[in-house]
Amino acid sequence: MHTQQSKVDCYFEQHSDFWNSAYETQDVAGRVLQQRTERALQWAKELQLARNIAVLDAGCGAGLAAVGLARLGYNVEAVDRVPAMLELTRKRVEQWDLKESVHISTGDISSLKTFTDNHFGLIVSLGVLAWLSSPEAALIEMNRVLKPGGYLILSFGNLWALQDVVNPLTNPLLAPLRSRVAKFLRGRGWLASPTQNSATDTHRRPLEVDRMLTSVGLRKLKCGTVGFGPFRFFRREYGHGMLAKSINENLQSLADRDCLLLRSAGAHYLVLSTKPLPSA
């Protein structure tokens, strides 16, 4: 029996080419991933941290954030469990001639044994926690290696993303009904059982993510959601090409202007938090 983590590792090892290209495609799905990285890097830039501060890219994936942080002038530790993803990061770092600024190593963000307590001034972890069976354990470990007064920027898939709410196949409120229908169909042999070795990411409500941060001792400073699309009705995608990207940009603009119905409806929830300084 494969563990959840081994399923995830196998998935990313086998699909590394997809994730490498996903961040650079010109469709709306690629644009959403780019927006997520851009927002995180903008927040990191606005912190105006000292250039010699230790920075961790926890779960570096294809290396976009690691390269972006290095281009801001930071020395970056890029850590991931999956060799194929580390190789993508290595190639991207070499492409930007940033080998002196990015150190790449194999590591598990739920057990960062290589690093001492209170080591990093900034940790960035984008799109990683949703793939873990225990994101709380990873948060505890990242909090351990984060300096008092240091910052954590993370993203988590948003359970209430607008693109999922409007689709009956992904609407969270319809999950119990979908489960009963699937059970009925499988019982009659009309629907295949899901593969036992499949890997999935689990989305959370923004409030749940905030509670997890609070539970490990981190304090939220600001947050937001990014990404509106691609939109589907059942399995049919509507809004293609430039239209889909225009819809995303316009909805994102409204969300950034704090529109009540959209500010929490993006596909990815981003949050900046800090590890409080010890009380005097």
CATH number of the domain bearing residue 124: 3.40.50.150
Please report whether residue 195 resides in a domain. Answer: no
Q: 165 or 191: whose pLDDT is higher?
A: 165
Domain count, the chain: 1
Judge whether residue 29 has pLDDT over 70.
Answer: yes
**Residue 143 forms part of a structural domain:** yes
Domain that holds residue 154: 4-163+201-274
Q: Provide the pLDDT for residue 142.
A: 98
pLDDT at 78 over 60: yes
Confidence of residue 1 (pLDDT cuts 50, 70, 90): very low
The pLDDT, as a whole number, for residue 123 is 98
Question: Any idea which of 20-24, 34-38, 158-162, 174-178 has the lowest mean pLDDT?
Answer: 20-24
The per-residue pLDDT of the chain, averaged, comes to 94
Query: Is residue 126 predicted with pLDDT exceeding 50?
Result: yes
Residue 129 falls inside a structural domain: yes
- Identify whether 186 is part of a domain: no
Evaluate whether residue 172 is within a structural domain: no
Concatenated DSSP letters of the chain: ---HHHHHHHHHHHTHHHHHHHTT-SSHHHHHHHHHHHHHHHHHHHT---TTSEEEEET-TTSHHHHHHHHTT-EEEEEES-HHHHHHHHHHHHHTT-TTTEEEEE-BTTB-TTS-TT-EEEEEE-S-GGGSS-HHHHHHHHHHHEEEEEEEEEEEEBTT-HHHHT-TTT-GGGHHHHHHHHHHHHHTTSSPPPPTT------B-HHHHHHHHHHTT-EEEEEEEE-----EETTEE-S-HHHHHHHHHHHHHHHHTT-TTTTT-SSEEEEEEE-PPPP-
Q: What is the pLDDT of residues 189-204, one digit of tens each?
A: 888 887 665 678 899 9
Q: What is the mean pLDDT of residues 147-157?
A: 98
Kindly state whether residue 9 falls inside one of the protein's structural domains: yes
Q: What average pLDDT score do residues 81-101 get? A: 97
Q: Is the model's pLDDT at 169 over the cut of 50?
A: yes
